[in-house]
Amino acid sequence: MKELNIAVVGATGAVGQEILKVIEERKVPFKSLRMLASSRSAGKEITFMEKTYTVEETTLDAFKGVDVALFAGGPASRAFGRDVQAAGTVVIDNSSTFRLEEDVPLIIPEVNGEAAKNHKGLIASPNCSTTLLVGAINPLHQKAGVKRIIVSTYQAVSGAGAAGLTELEDQSRQILDHKPIHLDVFQHQIAFNLIPHIDVWQEEDYSKEETKVLHETHKILDAPDMAITVTAVRVPVMRSHAESVYVEFENPLSPDEAREILAAAPRVVLQDKPHDNIYPMPITATGSDDIYVGRIRKDLYNDHALNLWACFDQIRKGAATNTVQILELLLEKDWI
């Protein structure tokens, strides 16, 4: 397999750090590795696979000689993404900046990997809530055709980066110790609370997180008419998202058929033995690259519908792992 010169942009953040871990674990071949971040982090040292790297400031010059740049997310994508692409480096971007642009494939490798084939040098990785939803339902969609989705999310604080994790931990301590809490990342206290507000507000009072899942799912599944309703809620969980999903199909699909399909699907793990207390949960999904699906039940009022509960590690498959898997796909298929 080719060995590439790789840059990780946002290498010091929660997702960037996880991208490095995933590169090591999955033995992604590389010739050289460049660690880029904002000027604030430039000069820091990162030890990775027994070698020490100095973090460099993200500038256009810093991408010279880089074959592929993995952008962890954040403002660097908008500031540099298109220029880096134009300069000949392949960009794999985890931010929302380019996801809906027409010349940018939006890729979950096991779902629509083929769409990356004719990429123009910029490929996007989806929003974490989209990846969880589409990863869980696509195997069923291929079999029975999804018509309608109603999904309520239970989203971990890691979606707001390392600062989100710190805020939940700090506030939890402050509340347990009966001390005043500090608000910084979230609109309200998140410890022992629920906040039905993720990202800014859009048309019809949907949040941007909710509309992202709608539009990104349409694009990934090439199903612009699929009816999708999303309610996005932040919960006091560290780093794994969950979703409660009602899904209606063109054709009837029994829970047993759904279980069989999901058990055989790549990168999906069926956890559906409720009588043994086995179902997806954040604490068991954390640290894994898989999408866990369980609580599969027939809808009592629609024999074309099922209900299910899905969970995955937001920092890994929701961000870092999917980004690296896109790179692996390009390498395997010789699309880079």
Q: Is 267 annotated as a binding residue?
A: no
Q: Work out how close the CB of 280 gets to its own copies at its nearest, in angstroms, rounded to a whole number.
A: 8
Residues 6+ apart with CB under 8 A from 140: 146, 247, 249, 253, 258, 261, 262, 306
CB-based burial, 248-286: b 16+ in 10 Å, e otherwise? bbeeebebeebbebbeebebbbbbbeeeeeebbbbeebb
Per DSSP, the chain holds a count of helices (H) and strands (E) of 9, 14
Restricting to residues 236-265, which ones interact with its own copies according to CB under 8 A?
A: 236-238, 242, 244, 246, 255
Q: Work out how close the CB of 6 gets to its own copies at its nearest, in angstroms, rounded to a whole number.
A: 33
- Rama region for 253: left / alpha / beta (φ>0; ψ in -120 to 50; rest): beta
User: 151 with 230: CB under 8 angstroms?
Assistant: yes
Q: Is 283 in the site for its own copies (CB under 8 A)?
A: yes
Q: Is 213 annotated as a binding residue?
A: no
Q: Is 196 in the site for its own copies (CB under 8 A)?
A: yes
| Residue from the set 206, 304, 331, 335 that interacts with its own copies by CB under 8 A | 206
Restricting to residues 298-317, which ones interact with its own copies according to CB under 8 A?
A: 298-302, 307, 309, 311
Rounded CA-CA distance 111/108 in Å is 5
The question of whether 311 is a catalytic residue gets the answer no
| Residue from the set 223, 233, 331, 335 that interacts with its own copies by CB under 8 A | 233
Distances (CA, A) of 48 to 17, 21, 24, 28, 207: 10, 8, 8, 13, 38
Q: Which residues bind its own copies (CB under 8 A)?
A: 148, 150, 152, 154, 168-169, 172-173, 176, 187-189, 192-197, 201, 204-207, 214, 227-229, 231, 233, 235-238, 242, 244, 246, 255, 274-275, 277, 279-283, 294-302, 307, 309, 311
Enzyme catalytic residues: 128, 241
The binding site comprises 12-15, 40-41, 99, 155, 158-159, 180, 234, 314
Residue stretches of the annotated binding site for NADP(+): 12-15, 40-41, 158-159, 180, 314
